[in-house]
Amino acid sequence: MAFSALIQSIELGLIFAVLSLGLFIAFRVLNLPDLTVDGSFVTGLAYSAVWTVEGNPVTGIVMGVLGGTAAGVVTGILHTKLKIHEILAGILTMTGLYSINLMIMGLSPTINFYGKKTVFTFAENKLLFNGTSLGKLVFLLFITLILVAAIYIFLKTQIGLSLRATGDNEAMVRSSSINTDAMKILGFAMCNAIVAFSGALYAQYNGNAAHSVGVGMLVLALASIIIGEAVVGRRGILRNLIAVCVGAVIYRIMLAKAYQLGLPVTGLKLFSAVMAVAAISLPLARSEFLKWRKRHAGNKKS
């Protein structure tokens, strides 16, 4: 892989690390796989695009994050107050967002703003190394690290502990004076705010926004989380958060490699799904294999 292609993969990997950190809050901390992310990613993307076209990239990101937060609150209310199953609640919000996102984008399924000023503009062509600019990479690395630190500190606060306990043992939390419904809504809101942030960055990074890009974002983030856990491990929160970022970058590098080996662009979502299945089933397959080998060895001896 060419050096510039590797750098680009890592940059995209870091944008999806942000996405995966968002899902981490719902999926790992609260134990609620949140399908809203397929929609809220596009909400972030859409706001980011329309405001960047107007020349306000930062406003675009702020609006995107607010939009994502609102989507998360809706899913949270559907799940906690209307007692809708968490997967269905996510699907409902995601489906509704499909229309809302199109409206945000002014009813056009794609917006191109290549060449407009974005949050990445200042970093372009800076820090040249081997003829490739590392400016964007450093900027994205900085954003990811700040986010990891912020989530880490948050999860150590009293409210963060309450959030974690809600995902860990809801029965206990209910009998310990914490409002579990509020915690879940908060978790959904944070998850989708961060996911929308990732979408907003993604739009400005690419210089365009496509309405259809959201499909499979949950699967992608899931694959990243699980790959990261397999590589880095999951003891301790900080390690967990770093694992998520590493997983997202590894995923993106593998995808770039697959493209290089001839994966057509249409195969992207299939690749995500297969990767997620592989990442989930590998630990199981390994332990089954070890068991099988142990039995086999035992038979030989007797």
Partner 1 sequence: MLEIKNLKVIFNENTVNEKIALDSINLTINDGDFITVIGSNGAGKSTLLNSIAGSIEVYEGSIINNGKDITYMKEHRRARFIGRLFQDPLKGTAPHMTIEENLGLAYSRGKSIRFGFGVRKKDHKLFKQACEQLGLGLENRLKSEVGLLSGGQRQALTLLMATLKTPELLLLDEHTAALDPKTSRQILEITKNIVEKDKITTLMITHNIQNAMEYGNKTLVMAGGSIIKVLEGDERKGMTIQDIMKLYAATDEMLSDRSLLS
Q: Which residues bind partner 1 (CB under 8 A)?
A: 156-162, 164-165, 168-169, 171-180
Please identify, using beta-carbon distances, which residue of 164 and 211 lies nearer to partner 1: 164
Distance of CA 153 to the CA centre of its chain: 19
Beta-strand relationship, 132-133 and 128-129: antiparallel
160 vs 267 by CB, closer to partner 1 = 160
Query: Min. distance of Cβ 149 from partner 1 in angstroms?
Result: 14
Q: Whose Cβ is closer to partner 1: residue 54's or residue 168's? A: 168
Other Cβ atoms less than 10 A from the Cβ of 75: the count is: 34
How far apart are CB 240 and partner 1 at their closest, in Å? 10
- CB nearer partner 1, residue 125 or residue 158: 158
Three-class SS state of 299:
helix
- Angstrom distance (rounded) from CA 87 to CA 239: 27
Q: Tokens 């990442």 correspond to what residue?
A: 279
Q: Which is nearer to partner 1, 106 or 236 (CB)?
A: 236
Residue number, 172 or 231, with CB nearest to partner 1: 172
Block residue for tokens 């199109």: 102
Q: Which is nearer to partner 1, 10 or 155 (CB)?
A: 155
Report whether 185 contacts 71 (CB < 8 A): no
Q: Would you say 224 and 53 are in contact if contact means Cβ atoms under 8 Å apart?
A: no
* 13, 252 contact by CB (below 8 A): yes
CB of 171 to partner 1, least distance (A): 5
Say if CB 46 and CB 104 are below 8 A apart.
yes
- What CA–CA distance (Å, rounded) separates 63 from 57? 10
- Shortest separation between residue 168's beta carbon and partner 1, angstroms: 4
Torsion sign over Cα 6, 220, 205, 136: negative
